[in-house]
Structure 1
């Protein structure tokens, strides 16, 4: 489908990643819901994702897409809250969206606008109360089906809330996990490099919307950060001189209510099976 928006059509991508010590686990990655009241098709798709029965849900932020989005978003996420999960925030989880000129995205990363402040603390409390782990600038460890998963998380890098200096301590807190996972909303290169340097072997991010407005074949024109466009969506290898990790960047499930169009870049979630 070449044209899509906040009402879909939605897709699920199925991928496999090598991780022998955590083999068999299934991770559902969702991101960038930008949820607003009345988005029934998106809510139904989230319900259908629960039918996949993942072992773990990783949510990489920008869940909220409207000043009145908290209650509808919590209702939409409710079926997935039955599964273990971790989350980080994006800038839209702190402030409601405002109209902006979409042409500016082609001139570099967008500036964070001072929209209406949202009750982010309440939203996070509800997610934590339902059982998900808040990993904004903090670590977590989950034992799932006999596998120990360690998480290093960062608050939104696009909003300059990421505490890279915390990663050393986070890594120490999850030492000896069967799999070390890095999670952030916006995949700025400073963030991906820092997670790799602290021994993440699998990393998750969102923010790019896969490019949102793409050429045929989902060839992204922008990423809204400094990540090269060839990494804007999907699974790829990220390396330095000493090590390599797999990076998954989500297309996301939504977009701003003020720019509700995707071109050659359908909204999607991803189910990753570890092998």
Structure 2
């Protein structure tokens, strides 16, 4: 076999560069704005409970000028959820609070729970992307963000801050015992402030955390929570076909980087792939930005007279064309 000519080598290099450029253009211009709604059914409620529709939002990473994202978020109110849960990283800019509040619009008039993440407290900064492959890399924070203003806007409209607080309330006939922790990614979690078994009379025992760190998930599971909602991972953000996420940016395994999974014997975990990206890494590949509509139904496995537990059902619908 004759060696490749210089011309063939040049053509191959140009072709590879073209493929790389096309992939980068797709990831930055198309997929990161291809917002989608994922729908998941989870059997986590006490037997006999009415079903509950929960809209899980995470990682908006809002910039003031992101009109397409803001318009898509406003349409989510048409889903008519019973409860909205926001698991943090709403901000990416000092002046993004009004954009977040206006984008959430009617959702803020619905029952809601939230905890914050690192990019509610600190602005993002440029990073070497290779650092994400080191789980214990040194974190560099940007300028402080106006998280107090965002918290005030949420709570004034009736959403409940679940950070290091245990909450009990009723929504759509479902009694919920909820608790959350501050962002474990920043080591701000103080699980001992909410430790202990939640109300056994509740129909749903719900935990919230921004980063799904195993040390926190284990504590929720040990205390008997039915479901924990988290974000932070962006679903890996840059994924490969047939392989999935390259990194999770936390201690959780790649198999649980997004979607629903089992944690321990009785607890379910749902990790949102999130809606935004850092302004310094505005790309997604094989990992579309998403919100999730969770339909929570009774777990018949808790009733000895019923059949075996049903697994989580997931499908994607209502994509970038909007919510209809």
Aligned to 2:39: 14
Deviation at 1:113, TM superposition (A): 2.1
* Root mean square deviation of aligned Cα: 1.8
Instruction: Indicate conservation of the 8 Å contact 2:32/2:288, yes or no.
Output: no
* 1:189 matches 2:214: yes
Instruction: Indicate conservation of the 8 Å contact 1:15/1:273, yes or no.
Output: yes
Cα distance in 2 for residues equivalent to 1:213 and 1:203: 24
Cα distance in 2 for residues equivalent to 1:251 and 1:130: 26
Q: 1:254 aligns with which of 263, 276, 293?
A: 276
Aligned to 1:3: 27
Aligned to 1:56: 83
Deviation at 1:178, TM superposition (A): 1.1
Q: 2:142 aligns with which of 101, 115, 131?
A: 115
Cα distance in 2 for residues equivalent to 1:80 and 1:17: 22
Q: Which structure has the larger Rg over C-alpha atoms? A: 2
With over 3 angstroms needed to count, the CA separation of the structure-2 counterparts of 1:228 and 1:74, relative to structure 1, is same
With over 3 angstroms needed to count, the CA separation of the structure-2 counterparts of 1:218 and 1:23, relative to structure 1, is farther
Q: 1:131 aligns with which of 154, 158, 170?
A: 158
Deviation at 1:115, TM superposition (A): 1.1
Aligned to 1:166: 193
Cα distance in 1 for residues equivalent to 2:232 and 2:291: 13
Aligned to 2:205: 180
The alignment's TM-score, normalised by the length of structure 2, stands at 0.79
With over 3 angstroms needed to count, the CA separation of the structure-2 counterparts of 1:46 and 1:212, relative to structure 1, is same
Deviation at 1:7, TM superposition (A): 5.3
* 1:102 matches 2:129: yes
String of CA shifts for 1:211-258, please: whole Å, max 9, x gaps: 01111157111110110010000000110xxx3211000000001000
Extract structure 1 runs of 4+ deviating beyond 3 A: 1-7, 20-23, 109-112
Instruction: Indicate conservation of the 8 Å contact 1:4/1:265, yes or no.
Output: no
With over 3 angstroms needed to count, the CA separation of the structure-2 counterparts of 1:274 and 1:103, relative to structure 1, is same
String of CA shifts for 1:174-214, please: whole Å, max 9, x gaps: 44211100110000100110111111111100000000111
Q: 1:34 aligns with which of 47, 54, 61?
A: 61
Aligned to 2:320: none
Which consecutive unaligned segments of at least 5 residues does structure 1 have?
A: none
The alignment's TM-score, normalised by the length of structure 1, stands at 0.93
With over 3 angstroms needed to count, the CA separation of the structure-2 counterparts of 1:85 and 1:218, relative to structure 1, is farther
Cα distance in 1 for residues equivalent to 2:202 and 2:172: 13
Instruction: Indicate conservation of the 8 Å contact 1:4/1:267, yes or no.
Output: no
Aligned to 1:152: 179
Which consecutive unaligned segments of at least 5 residues does structure 2 have?
A: 1-22, 298-324
> Higher helix proportion, which one?
2
